Amino acid sequence: MTELSEDNLLNHLATQHGHFEKKRTTSFKSDKDSEERRTPTQRGSAKLKRISSSAKSAHSLSSIEDKFSALSTLIQDRLLITEFPGRNSAAGRINDDDAFEEEFPDETPPSGRVTKEGDYDTDLEMDYDDWLHAEKILIEEDKTGERKYIDICNKTGVIPVSYFVRHIQNKEFEMKYHGLGPLGAKAIALPLRSNRKIEKVNIEGNWIESQGAIYLAQMLANNIYLTELHLAENKIGNDGAKAISEMLLKNDMIHTVDLSGNDIDDNGAEVICSTLMKNTTIKHVYLSKNSFEERAAISFKHVLLHNESLDTIDLSWNHIRTRGASAIAEGLQVCSKLPFRDSLFIDINGIGLKTIDGKAIGKAIKQNRTLRSLDISHNRIPQDGAKHIAKGLSENDGLQELKIGSNPLGSEGPLNILQAIEKNDICTVTELDLSNVLVTEEFQELQDKLEKDRILTVTHGGIAGELYNIQSITFDPLHDFRKNPVGMLRDIAKEAGYRMIDLFKDFDKDGNSYISKDEFVMGIKRAGMQVSVRQIEVIMEKLDTNKDGCVDYA
């Protein structure tokens, strides 16, 4: 019984071998010299070996020895898989209805290669690791940053911005209000690290937040080509300001930094000032529209007293008030004594100067010989404060530009300032800006005379008419706008092609029917509407009925 079972088993295996050989010899009769064949991937330790077409059929085996020989041949040959058919080959699969059916994919696997060898298939594999290594080298050696940008976008899931790719070779790269966010900032930071073309980066209004600023700071620490970095309106906060400040301690090529409108308070200001006390390459710093108060003002006073390389500092529209403004004025009085300071341009408009501060500013103008431009507009400086400033101008020989518009200077204030310029033979003022300030006819006559005799340009808000009592005028540049701010906004929106409801929906990015002040400001800028920050404040005050800081337009 055992002998019969073995015999049956051997007969069955020999039959399979004969059937397989028959299929094999029938399917591949094409010319070996003219047909390219694909080779299979070596799986594990299995090797592929061509079966000779002269192998014996199972029907020719007549003895147990022949059957064992056939079985041995089948096992030794270890024919695990056949060669893959070509794209146009008819031999797509090998079938045996009695035993097994083995299928192969229509396409050659990634590791297979075509061979022209007629008798033996080869076992060559595509080196995928080599390909990855070559691609990695291309990315690392990419000097433009384009490959790095696409690669990091793929890794972080960020949609690549075609504008960045198109302009990555520009000397000055500007991409305002593109909604990059923190991850978008991370994507552009990596290529900026090795980019040798871009010298100026301006990504204002992209809300990259503190994390985006940290990404940029990490990548730009060793960049030796970038000289200007503009990050205004990006909500980087104190953490972002700290990251940028620490980067500036390592990078000695950047000379211009703009961090305006970034929700930085006194804590962030102290970190920035600490950097400015040590960095000797930064020339221009713009920090307007943040949340600096008295402590920040004192820190900037020390910067003015010790930093000899700073040329421009913009502290406008912060929360600096009387004592803080006095501290900055004191810094201006002394900073001109620094031996290597050549010039200083300072903007402190909209910080809340009053009479006592007008006196301090007047003293600073008198003593400072390096101050070239001073902007103290929008500071509620009254007529008495203007007189102190005029006194300082009477002895100044360095100031070239004075902006003192949008202040309630009264009838005598503007005239006192212009007369001080006239009487000072060494006065170097070439531009006097009194925008939104009414002047008298006497002022206009003196202006015409001075503009004819010397290089001087004067701008003012017009001549007060005879019907007005000039002594009682307290000029409000937003007087007409305050009468009907919503109507004025509707007219401005109409000129820009918007309906009010569509405009508000566009402002409301989170779709909760509430518009915050930040959303309002960003929306106005995106729409390209000419509305000032003070006008926006008037509109918000009018529309914010419950005084929660938001507009409920639902």
- What's the one-letter identity of residue 313? I
pLDDT of residue 123: 45
Backbone phi, psi, residue 96, to 5°: -145, 105
Kindly report the length of the chain.
554
pLDDT of residue 152: 85
- Interval 63-104: pLDDT, tens: 566 656 655 665 555 444 444 444 444 444 444 444 434 444
- Interval 81-91: pLDDT, tens: 444 444 444 44
pLDDT of residue 229: 97
Residue 372 class from Cβ within 10 Å (0-12 exposed, 13-18 middle, 19+ buried)? Answer: middle
* Chain region(s) in the chain for CATH 3.80.10.10: 292-472
Domain 292-472 sits in CATH at 3.80.10.10
Q: Does the reported pTM lie above 0.85?
A: no
The CA-based diameter of the chain, rounded to the nearest angstrom, is: 136
Q: Fold for 479-552, please state it.
A: Recoverin; domain 1 (1.10.238)
Given a contact cutoff of 8 angstroms between Cβ atoms, the answer to whether 348 and 378 are in contact is no
Residue ranges of alpha helices (H) inside 141-264 are 146-156, 162-167, 181-194, 209-220, 237-250
* Chain region(s) in the chain for CATH 1.10.238.10: 479-552
pLDDT of residue 107: 45
Q: In the chain, which stretches have pLDDT less than 70?
A: 1-136, 138-141, 143, 336-342, 352-357, 465-479, 553-554
pLDDT of residue 354: 62
